[in-house]
């Protein structure tokens, strides 16, 4: 009597094929948690999800302004610091030369 059960390699291929085919099916299932544990009223869910677009736009534009002004101020401040140091060093050198 021949053994009808396929070899190890074929079995592995079959398992892989079943898994590969079942993935899109499983992925297409709707999320189950909310539906199984209880129903959420639409109005409440909608309130949670809604973020006014105006707020996002104002935050975005405000952020750009703050970043750019902050960066320009940082260049100006660093430049001022280096130039003050340059002046101080130059004065020290001049004073040293006079002595």
Partner 1 sequence: MRKLFLPLTVVAAGMFMMAPFLVDGAPYESTMGLVQKIFYFHVPSAMTMFVSAFVCGISSAVFLFKGRPAADRLAVAAAELTSVFGIIVLVTGPLWARKAWGVWWVWDERITSTFVLWLIFNAYLLLRKYGGAGSERLAAGLAIFGMANVPFVYWSVNVWRTLHPKTTVVPTLQPGMRGPFWFCVTAFLLLYVLAITARAHLEAERARLEEIYLAIEE
CB of 23 to partner 1, least distance (A): 18
Q: Nearer to partner 1 by C-beta: 15 or 67?
A: 67
Q: Nearer to partner 1 by C-beta: 16 or 72?
A: 72
Q: Nearer to partner 1 by C-beta: 15 or 59?
A: 59
CB of 99 to partner 1, least distance (A): 15
Q: SS3 string of the chain?
A: CCCCCCCHHHHHHHHHHHHHHHHHHHHCCCCCHHHHHCCCCHHHHHHHHCCCHHHHHHHHHHHHHHHHHHHHHHHHHHHHHHHHHHHHHHHHHHHHHHC
CB of 22 to partner 1, least distance (A): 23
């Amino acid at each position: 009597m021949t053994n009808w059960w396929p070899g190890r390699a074929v079995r592995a291929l079959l398992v892989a094929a079943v898994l590969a085919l079942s993935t899109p099916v499983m992925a297409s299932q709707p999320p189950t948690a909310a539906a199984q544990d209880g129903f959420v009223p639409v109005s409440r869910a909608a309130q949670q999800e809604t973020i006014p677009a105006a707020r996002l736009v104002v935050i975005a534009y405000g952020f750009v302004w703050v970043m750019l002004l902050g960066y320009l101020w940082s260049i100006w401040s660093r430049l001022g610091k280096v130039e003050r140091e340059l002046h101080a060093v130059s004065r020290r050198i001049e004073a040293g030369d006079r002595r």
